[in-house]
Amino acid sequence: MSGGTDRGTGNGRTGDEEPGRSAPQDGLTQEVPPQEVAPQEVAPQEGLTEREPASTQASSAAGASAVRIPRRRGLQGPPGAVAAVLVLGATVALATGALIPRPAADAFSYDIPGTAVPAGDYTAVCAGPPRLLGVDAGGIDPEFSPVSKSAKTRVSAMVLGDLSGALPGSDLSPLSGGDPLAVLATGPAEGEEAAPPASSDSSGLTSRTAGVAGGTAVQDASVFRAEPLGAQTPVAGAMFSYTARDGDLRGLAAAPCQAPSNDLWILGADTTVGSTSVLLLSNPTQTPATVDLELTGAEGPVEASGGTGLLVPPGQTRQLVLGGLAAGQEQLAVRVRSTGGRITAFVQQSVLRGLTPGGVELLTPTAGPADTQVLPGVAIQDAATARRIREQKGYEGAAPALQVLVPGTSDAVLDVVVLGPDGELTLDGGGVVTARAGALTTLPLDELPEGNYTVAISADVPVSAAVRVSRGTGPGKPVDQGLAVAAARIGGDSSVVFADGTDASLVFGSPSGRSEVSVTGIRADGTLGTPKIFNLAGGTSVAVTASDLMKGAAAAVISATGDPVYGAQVNTLSDAAGISVSAVPPGATGRESIPIVLGY
């Protein structure tokens, strides 16, 4: 899935064609294995309802219809995955130039059984604690000074076991190497095979256990790894959290530990006076990575020397001050591409307005460009407090706003829809906006009433998007900031680890149709609670607190059926300004295979 949505797949065929085989063309045959489409489940009730499961719930969302917004042109998702097919053909010419007659199409074709792709480790990098730049930091390589005395930096992690009680080997370790900081499970003993994979439907989850490591203190970047269990990719996850109640970096920053990639898009950076953006590049692989950056501001691409050919050695983190590459940008998008090793990327964003802290956040990658984007977790605080904060001089940036990047050469016509608990909210101008090609466009959201929302965007050209949010307690007091990014569609067994020391909520958005979401809470001791089922009506966005799932919930496993639904975790501080938003990551994938067909 790309851009947060899925399209349904179709396979046209005439009645005379044999299933699984395309028509032969000039002696070359191509065989395609029949595809099965999982039945689609539709929730029977509108609004948000909660019930205990009466029967087994399928966790896969395959085959669900494309996302659509009824009142306008609607959202369309990317095509579903199909099996890869390799076709080999050859003709041989004589030295004289005469051709050997080609045999019948099926004379020398034969099938090779599908080759199973082994399940890989789950690897995710957790950022190090935010730090102020030292006064001597020049250029783009920062020197960090100490943080406040009250700052706490923690990483919490979870790995789900199977029905046999086995847990995948998993631990949290320093990125640079060394002894583990926390061990969740040692895995099967050497020479002992893991039990066969078991079904993980919502009712069967209650007989499973999990390994949980909560609140592990970290001083630098770390990496969480979990081994596959049998032939299954592990259901695992980790969450970084930072809280500080004094100092210039006062506030809350929480971000899921990130799986490495070769292409990442980050929005929401700010390099104006008083704002600091530090790009953190980490390489958890054994291969050196060479990184190139593409920077885009409100006026278009930003040419920056020193942003290409950046070497990130294995097990290392490289920090770059974005103000040294693109100064004075109130809105800045960063595309990070690597060759060689895969990398992770965060942006440490902080603001200081005179002597008043303006917030700290770890900006995480949003979905890559697509013609639809869905952004859950847009948390808006009460209008009266927000208005008094924004009326202060220099606090214009404390207002919620949608940022849209159009990376192509054609302007984008955007159709923006805001979904709340009671349905769709109307934006000024009807939500139809033209965004300039090759630049960042901002759409204010400060007129929205207090609540948790999902923003759905459809466009006629691919775009990326994120929503800036903020939270404060009143004029003259510290303000915190967060960023809601485009999420992937929830399918089966998505893991969420709640940020340590925060008030956590899950926000789900269903742009169209009806969806059913199953959420199973996990306690700190690894025991699972009873799954809770929520029915979402199309065009709505709803929030569920972690405490509603169970008392002392440390993590959760989420699955969904029906029409596409998206999720985010919203974290706040109950007695201080603090907010952070993170998308629910994609679910674990099972065993995959590649069918191969050879033909002559």
Quick one: three-class SS letters along 311-324? EECCCCEEEEEHHH
**Of the candidates 368, 361, 122, 126, the residue with the CA atom closest to the CA atom of residue 258:** 126
Asked if residue 595 is part of any domain, the answer here is no
H/E element, 173: strand 170-174
H/E element, 464: strand 451-472
Asked if residue 103 is part of any domain, the answer here is no
Q: Do 541 and 452 contact (CB within 8 A), yes or no?
A: yes
What are the Cα distances from residue 506, in Å, to 130, 239, 435, 588?
Answer: 25, 14, 30, 19
> For residue 382, what are its two tokens?
């009460």
Q: What's the CA gap between 128 and 175, in Å, rounded?
A: 10
Strands 170-174 and 317-321: unpaired
> Nearest 10 degrees: CA dihedral of 380, 382, 384, 389?
-50
Q: How far is CA 163 from the centre of its chain?
A: 28
Q: How far is CA 122 from the centre of its chain?
A: 15
Say what the pTM is: 0.79
Q: Rg for the chain (alpha carbons), in Å?
A: 25
Q: Do 182 and 213 contact (CB within 8 A), yes or no?
A: yes
Residues spanned by the domain of 240: 122-134+142-188+205-583
Q: What's the CA gap between 301 and 279, in Å, rounded?
A: 18
H/E element, 547: helix 546-549
Asked if residue 385 is part of any domain, the answer here is yes
Asked if residue 264 is part of any domain, the answer here is yes
> For residue 452, what are its two tokens?
């948790």
Q: What's the CA gap between 589 and 525, in Å, rounded?
A: 25
> Nearest 10 degrees: CA dihedral of 469, 470, 471, 476?
-160
Distant-in-sequence contacts of 60-63, Cβ < 8 A, 24+ apart: 60/491, 60/492, 60/561, 61/6, 61/489, 61/490, 61/491, 61/492, 61/560, 61/561, 61/562, 61/564, 62/37, 62/38, 62/491, 63/8, 63/37, 63/38, 63/39
Kindly tell me the burial class for residue 80, based on how many C-beta atoms sit within 10 Å of its own C-beta (0-12, 13-18, 19 or more): middle
Q: How far is CA 362 from the centre of its chain?
A: 14
Angle at alpha carbon of residue 367, lines to 364 and 373, rounded to 5°: 125
H/E element, 516: strand 515-523
Estimate the share of the chain in helix, then strand, then coil, as percent rounded to the nearest 5.
Answer: 5, 45, 50
pLDDT per residue, tens digit, the chain (600 aa), is 444 444 333 343 444 444 343 444 443 334 444 444 444 444 444 444 444 444 344 333 333 334 544 445 444 444 443 333 333 333 333 334 444 444 444 444 455 555 556 667 899 999 999 988 875 555 677 877 767 888 999 999 999 998 888 899 999 999 999 999 999 999 765 555 544 444 444 445 657 899 999 999 999 999 999 998 877 889 999 999 999 999 999 999 999 999 999 999 999 999 999 999 999 999 999 999 999 999 999 999 999 888 999 999 999 999 999 999 999 999 999 999 999 999 999 999 999 998 899 999 999 999 999 999 999 999 999 999 999 999 999 898 899 999 999 999 999 999 999 999 999 998 988 899 999 999 999 999 999 999 999 999 999 999 999 999 999 999 999 999 999 999 999 988 899 999 998 999 999 999 998 999 999 999 999 999 999 999 999 999 999 999 999 999 999 999 999 999 999 999 999 888 999 999 998 876 544 545 555 555
**Of the candidates 559, 478, 485, the residue with the CA atom closest to the CA atom of residue 515:** 559
Asked if residue 196 is part of any domain, the answer here is no
Q: Which residue, chain included where needed, has tokens 């609140």?
A: 215
The domain tally of the chain equals: 1
Task: Give the other-Cβ count within 10 Å of 81's Cβ.
Answer: 12
> What one-character DSSP code corresponds to residue 180?
-
What are the Cα distances from residue 517, in Å, to 5, 130, 154, 231, 380?
Answer: 16, 34, 29, 26, 23
Asked if residue 26 is part of any domain, the answer here is no
Asked if residue 46 is part of any domain, the answer here is no
H/E element, 546: helix 546-549
